[in-house]
């Protein structure tokens, strides 16, 4: 729906609503449609749960259906609900896209926004950089991304080794990332909690093109305490085509 059309529908609904409200609580309480628009708009969620790009069981046997269901419907949703409940988005550039919003996060940003904007963005990227692998044959990077991997890691196996080691060693909850820095170099970094490499609060900035969630909720049902095994199996469902697109678009 176009913004104009949405705005028209909203205002039409408000005319009806404000008429009703005027009757109920008096004209002075809702003086005009613009006030009512603000009231109405503030009730709409700013952030919405993105649909999974595949079925819950599509990443089996590497990531199980129940984990995907709980992770997407409960955990990801919870970050979004908390973010939408934040009293103010001041200090976040709400006109920017999701990555731009994360880039606004600095030391003055509240923990509520930092943690839940991160939770919203990180999981959205995580779902996108995975894809079903029914044949058990993992895909591989191609094109410009493959060239960049050769330049910065020599072999894809080296990238995977370094990434897996760093992901395994994260103490407590966090994320492992493949990022592109401002000189177009590929790097592997980690962040704690729901921070990400776009935020000003982390030591190493860059544009994330691959993300791995190593919070226990991402793997515990199937792998329990065996995080390295989860990481090892996760490579089977990495969507290198998508990672390649993110690399060329960045």
Q: Which of 231, 227, 195, 198 is nearest to 212 (CA)?
A: 231
Chain centroid to CA 214: how far?
14
What mask of x and - would describe binding to Mn ion in positions 155 to 194, judged by CB under 5 A?
Answer: ----------------------------------------
Strand partners, 213: 175
CB 127 within 8 Å of CB 53: yes
Residue 121 binds to Mn ion (criterion: CB under 5 A) = no
Is residue 102 classed exposed, middle or buried when 0-12, 13-18 and 19+ CB atoms within 10 A define those classes?
Answer: buried
Task: Record the tokens describing residue 141, joined without a space.
Answer: 């990077």
Q: Which is nearer to Mn ion, 77 or 232 (CB)?
A: 77
Q: Which is nearer to Mn ion, 119 or 244 (CB)?
A: 119
Which residue's C-beta sits nearest to Mn ion?
A: 213
Residues 43-82 within binding reach of Mn ion (CB under 5 A): none
Strand partners, 177: 189, 211
Q: Which is nearer to Mn ion, 67 or 104 (CB)?
A: 67
Query: Which region among 6-14, 143-151, 202-210, 213-221 touches Mn ion (by CB under 5 A)?
Result: 213-221
Of 79, 177, 215, 230, the one binding Mn ion by CB under 5 A: 215
> Site size for Mn ion, by CB under 5 A?
2
Q: To the nearest whole angstrom, how small is the minimum distance from the Cβ of residue 98 to Mn ion? A: 16
Residue 213 binds to Mn ion (criterion: CB under 5 A) = yes
Query: Which region among 84-92, 134-142, 215-223, 235-243 touches Mn ion (by CB under 5 A)?
Result: 215-223
What are phi and psi for residue 168, nearest 5 degrees? -65, -35
Q: What is the DSSP string of 65-85?
A: HHHHHIIIIIIIHHHHHHHHT
**Residue 66 neighbours by CB under 8 Å, 6+ apart:** 221
Q: To the nearest whole angstrom, how small is the minimum distance from the Cβ of residue 71 to Mn ion? A: 6
Query: Which region among 22-30, 172-180, 205-213, 225-233 touches Mn ion (by CB under 5 A)?
Result: 205-213
Give the binding site for Mn ion (CB under 5 A): 213, 215
């Amino acid at each position: 729906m176009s913004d104009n059309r949405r705005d028209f529908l909203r205002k039409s609904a408000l005319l009806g609503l404000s008429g009703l409200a005027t009757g109920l609580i008096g004209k002075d309480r809702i003086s005009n449609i613009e006030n009512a628009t603000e009231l109405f708009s503030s009730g709409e969620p700013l952030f919405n749960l993105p649909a999974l790009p595949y079925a819950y069981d599509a990443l089996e046997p590497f990531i199980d259906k129940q984990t995907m269901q709980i992770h997407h419907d409960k955990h990801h949703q919870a970050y979004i609900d908390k973010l939408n409940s934040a009293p103010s988005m001041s200090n976040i550039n709400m006109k920017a896209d999701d990555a731009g919003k994360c880039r606004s996060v600095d030391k003055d940003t509240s923990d509520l926004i930092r943690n839940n904007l991160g939770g919203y963005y990180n999981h959205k990227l995580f779902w996108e950089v995975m894809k079903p692998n029914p044949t058990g044959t993992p895909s591989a990077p191609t094109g410009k991304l493959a060239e960049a991997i050769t330049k910065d890691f020599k072999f894809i196996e080296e990238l995977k080794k370094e990434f897996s080691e760093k992901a395994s060693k994260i103490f407590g909850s966090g994320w492992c990332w493949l990022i592109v820095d401002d000189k177009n170099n590929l790097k592997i970094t980690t962040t704690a909690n729901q921070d990400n490499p776009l935020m000003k609060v982390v030591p190493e900035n860059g544009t994330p093109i691959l993300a791995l969630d190593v919070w226990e909720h991402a793997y515990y049902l199937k792998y329990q305490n065996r995080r390295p095994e989860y990481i090892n199996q996760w490579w089977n469902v990495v969507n290198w085509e998508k990672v390649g697109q993110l690399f060329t678009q960045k």
